[in-house]
Amino acid sequence: MKRLEHRASFGGWQQVWTHASTTLNCPMNLGLYLPPAALAGQACPVLYWLSGLTCTEQNFITKAGAQQFAAQHGLILVAPDTSPRGDGVANDAAYDLGQGAGFYLNATQAPWAPHFRMEDYVVHELPQVVSALLAEQGHQATARRGIFGHSMGGHGALTLALRHPGVYHSVSAFSPIVAPSQVPWGEKAFAAYLGEDRSAWLAHDAVALIANATERLPLLVDQGDADEFLQGQLKPELLQAACQQAGHPLTLRLQPGYDHSYYFIASFMAEHIAHHAAALNA
């Protein structure tokens, strides 16, 4: 593991690390924010952020404004990259497939399967890496984890929380792709990564997963009503209907005037961090 960045931020440290991922078979970068409480020796919960299409760890740590609220609530923030990367990693010329577009699942199809295992990376390997990074610096985390994300990362946050009950204690999303098996972004990625059998796609579709969820973790979702992808790709009304039918707790807020950008994310970051802190610091 090698530290690439180390910057003071709201009384804590914003770091960027790179490590050799055994799950993805390539180097991976991650952002790690240590709040003042962690630097003072307190064990802090860890909140994982999953970014959207084309993003790296840099988008969140430089644009979301999350550090000040993580500092207030004593949360460690972890922001991994969105996919495996490198010359030996399969890619596509389009922005919505391949590097930068991992969709937080384990690919089963060639040429993606050897590297594109983002579900295993986020759920299993990444917490081990974070634990090692904290120990190396003399800090520690509690056993409580939260997860949130934006767009493709919102899809990842919802599906990973639903697919792994008990692993996460809080979840939220900004403008998530809630029904990827029903929209162009998801159909393209799922066909490539998982094959043409649409029944296999449902295991990575939040709307489909809600019906049989064994854990009723409350969902907080913010969506801008001026989002250019609202009708064609995001369709939050499908998640609302699925949650109503299943009796799954959902707070869905349609925010007037907001688009798909980090201006939107930064505007409501304080409320999302507070949502997670209430559960993680309980």
> To which residue do tokens 């409350």 refer?
218
**Which is the catalytic residue, given 21, 151, 170, 175?**
151
Asked if 151 is an active-site residue, the reply is: yes
CB count within 10 Å of CB 65 equals 17
Q: Is 170 a catalytic residue?
A: no
Widest CA span in the chain: 52
What token pair was written down for 26? 């390539």
Residue 271 backbone dihedrals phi, psi, to 5 degrees: -70, -35
Distance of CA 267 to the CA centre of its chain: 18
Tokens of 152: 């493709």
Is 227 a residue of the active site?
yes
Alpha carbon distances (Å) from 234 to 74, 76, 127, 207, 279: 32, 29, 29, 11, 27
Specify the pairing of strand 26-34 against strand 170-174.
unpaired
Catalytic residue among 139, 150, 169, 260: 260
C-beta atoms surrounding 209 within 10 Å: 19
- Choosing from 227, 248, 275, 276, the catalytic residue is 227
What is d(CA 212, CA 136) in angstroms, rounded to the nearest whole number? 40
Cα separation, 76 vs 104, in Å, equals 21
Residues annotated as catalytic (active site), given as ranges: 151, 227, 260
